Amino acid sequence: MNKSPLAPEKFPDMPAVSGVRFASANSGMRYKGRDDLLFAVMDEGTTAAGVFTKNSMPGAPVDWGRKILSGGTARALVVNAGIANVFTGAAGIETVEKTAETAASLLQSNPEEVYIASTGVIGELIETSYITDTLPGMLDSLSEDNCEAAADAILTTDTFAKGATATCQLNGKTVTINGFAKGSGMIAPDMATMLAFLFTDANIPAPILQELLSSENEKSFNCVTVDSDTSTSDSVLLFATGNAKNTAPSAAADADLADFKSTLLSVMQDLAQQVARDGEGATKFITVSVTGAETDTSAKTIALAIANSPLVKTAIAGEDANWGRVIMAVGKSGEKASRDKLYLKMCGIVIAEDGARSPSYSEDQIAPLMKRPEITIEVDVGVGSGNAYAWTCDLTHGYIEINADYRS
């Protein structure tokens, strides 16, 4: 598979996050000639937060993550790519438990401090020994500098590794936030629509970390959709080692946390946008902004109706400003919108106002803009002050090619 034309030029230079080490390996489970197993080890005292898919058929690793999250601490993360361990009944639970036990015994920690994520085909069983036999040999290669290899090991149909990094100030200390993600198809809110792992050396108690992750997730990973299909495996996890030794904040609303919070959001948005940029078959990155809706929630429903419309996405693939399909998508959302006040811009060009095509609009003006790789759609639906955005990609032959024959 060729790298998406929308990919960033390169994986970012990631400074180490003190207290987090990565190793990756090929388990032999499904993929040949590439790593498919990630082992991340965190220092003692690391706090954890997580958000998981809302799909009601979650995989065994998601059930496990939800269960151990109440403990608030983490020592390890094990991720495999190739088989999702979803809809696998008792055998799937056993795989998760044995994986956690193996990692915990290697680290002399508690199995309930070992987070697990799996991505790949649904319904197939993982032969647990592929994981448990491989983990011990990975201990020696653990390193703080292996972030790109770690990001590579969790990919499935992705065409590039997705990483983001930033630093900020927290209570007088400089802290780092690193993240990487995978996701390319079966991507839709609600949550989390992909695997994303975030690591920071900040010292933040687990309940506050969870509040931050949940609120920023709404504005990042929950704004991206590729195909409206919500995965059964998706998980966003945030680990904080505390090695920056800042004074711990006492509440998520602390003014001291403002910089950390906005930096966390920027890292999460960067990763979320990279997922849309790597949408299966993507040739265009699309940003949909909706304003003037009844509420922010209503605006998001409308934004996602546009971002998920196969007709909107195929038109953009064809570099055709077929804006009537955007109107259709607003109307099918079921949300309140004024046909007679509706205002629509694409690529910065005013197309519709007051319920009809704008007198100033000409196709000649927009045609060259539709050839660009970045497309914007801005709609004001004229009924209130709710607003939201969504990121997606176009729907192309590439999506069909990838998905009509994924398992073979």
253 touching its own copies, by CB under 8 A = no
**Single residue of 5, 71, 123, 172 touching its own copies by CB under 8 A:** 123
Map residues 344-363 to x or -, x wherever contact with its own copies holds by CB under 8 A.
--------x-xxxx------
Q: Which stretch binds its own copies (CB under 8 A): 9-17, 27-35, 154-162, 400-408?
A: 400-408
CB atoms within 10 A of CB 33: 5
Bridge pairing between strands 374-380 and 285-293: parallel
Which residue has 């993929």 as its token pair? 31
Question: How far apart are CB 237 and its own copies at their closest, in Å?
Answer: 20
**Single residue of 20, 49, 77, 86 touching its own copies by CB under 8 A:** 86
285 touching its own copies, by CB under 8 A = no
94 touching its own copies, by CB under 8 A = no
89 touching its own copies, by CB under 8 A = yes
Return the residues of window 182-211 that contact its own copies according to CB under 8 A: 185-186, 188
Question: How far apart are CB 4 and its own copies at their closest, in Å?
Answer: 17
296 touching its own copies, by CB under 8 A = no
336 touching its own copies, by CB under 8 A = yes
Looking at beta carbons only, is 54 or 98 nearer to its own copies? 54
What are φ and ψ of residue 293, in 5° steps?
-85, 170
Side-chain half-sphere exposure of 232, counting CA atoms within 13 A = 16
**Single residue of 15, 112, 320, 365 touching its own copies by CB under 8 A:** 320
Looking at beta carbons only, is 190 or 259 nearer to its own copies? 190
Q: Which stretch binds its own copies (CB under 8 A): 144-152, 163-171, 212-220, 313-321?
A: 313-321
Q: What span, in angstroms and rounded, lies between the C-alpha atoms of 338 and 260?
A: 39
Among candidates 359, 340, 338, which has minimal Cα distance to 350? Answer: 359
126 touching its own copies, by CB under 8 A = no
CB atoms within 10 A of CB 56: 7
For the chain, counts of helices (H) and of strands (E):
12, 15
Active site residues: 193
Q: Which stretch binds its own copies (CB under 8 A): 81-89, 103-111, 197-205, 255-263?
A: 81-89
H-assigned helices in 112-219: 129-132, 135-138, 147-153, 206-218
- Dihedral sign computed on CA atoms, order 68, 242, 178, 108: negative
Q: Which stretch binds its own copies (CB under 8 A): 102-110, 203-211, 226-234, 262-270?
A: 226-234
**Contact at 8 Å (CB) between 34 and 152?**
yes
Q: What span, in angstroms and rounded, lies between the C-alpha atoms of 306 and 314?
A: 12
At 143 the three-state DSSP class reads strand
Q: What span, in angstroms and rounded, lies between the C-alpha atoms of 290 and 380?
A: 6
229 touching its own copies, by CB under 8 A = yes
Question: Assign residue 171 a region: left if phi > 0, alpha if psi is -120 to 50, beta otherwise?
Answer: left
Q: Most distant CA pair in the chain: distance in Å? A: 71
Question: How far apart are CB 218 and its own copies at their closest, in Å?
Answer: 17
**Contact at 8 Å (CB) between 323 and 363?**
no
408 touching its own copies, by CB under 8 A = yes
Looking at beta carbons only, is 168 or 395 nearer to its own copies? 395
**Single residue of 25, 104, 106, 121 touching its own copies by CB under 8 A:** 121
